[in-house]
Amino acid sequence: MKKHKQFKIGILKNEQYGLDNRGTTLVELIVSFALMAIFLASSASVIGTITKMYYQITGETYSKQVGDIVMEKVASLIEGAKYEDGEDNTNPKIDDDINKKFGTSITLFDRTDTKLTIKTDSISAVPPTDPNEPVRQELLVEYAEITGSDSIRRNATTWKFDNDMYNGFSIIDFHLIRGDAFAAGEPDASSLTALAGSYGLNGDLTRYGKNVVLVLMTIDNEKYGEYKFYRFVKMYNVTP
């Protein structure tokens, strides 16, 4: 009779292979969640910083486009204003007053001898209910009626930019200051200098004469915030 070889099947223990079936302890779970929380917090901080930078750069880009377009329009109309010594009826008037040196509108006769007024007006007919909410405005150019022969006759009309040009911005502050308003002895020189200073103008403003108009404008976007602009406009037909 043949004898069969007997084989012992050994049970391999996990310890022989460095295996551990004890599972995860509470301490290990807490440490894991703590590390995950730190990682997520760091990621959120980085994402928040990048998002803030994106909105800041986008706001500066859009605001500069809007500010430059509006300022260029205003400057192009003011610089060619008609002026004759002693002609109070046709010379530039701030807030429709020949003696006033600062205000929020200017009336003049342009190169084509057309009377016009540059001003801002509220976009909405309903004023804001919150007293801290600025009145949102847009630029208007009001052209007076032209009478005469049929070939040159024109009704009064108001020009304004298309809403899309503003990229969601609106004008919340608009000032026009004649250069000689900063001269020593002028009653409002101090307050006007402070106003100009809020726009970053800290130099000597007394060197400007009545032939220069300082235009100050603040635009605002609910998403991007406020941006300030200024421009000195020289009226070439006005004697200093």
Q: Is residue 147, in this structure, part of any structural domain at all?
A: yes
Cα–Cα distance for residue pair 237/239, rounded to 1 Å: 7
Judge whether 38 lies within some domain. no
Q: Is residue 24 part of a domain?
A: no
Q: Which among 99, 110, 125, 134 is positioned nearest to 210, based on CA atoms?
A: 99
Q: How many angstroms separate the CA atoms of 5 and 220, rounded?
A: 95
**Do the domain assignments include residue 25?**
no
**Model confidence pLDDT, tens digit, residues 79-129:** 999 998 888 888 999 999 999 999 999 999 998 889 999 999 999 877 778
222 within domain boundaries: yes
Q: How confident is the model at residue 13 (pLDDT cuts 50, 70, 90)?
A: low
Q: Does residue 239 sit within a domain?
A: no
Q: How far is 163 from 125, CA to CA, in rounded Å?
A: 16
- Domains: count for the chain: 1
Token output for 174: 């608009």
Q: 57: which strand partners?
A: none
* Structural contact between residues 193 and 177, judged by C-beta atoms closer than 8 angstroms: no
Helix (H, G, I), strand (E, B) or coil at 214: strand
Give the range of the structural domain holding residue 215, as residue numbers without chain letter: 55-126+134-234
Tokens 């079936």, located at residue: 21
Is 18 a residue whose pLDDT tops 80?
A: no
* Residue 61, helix vs strand vs coil: helix
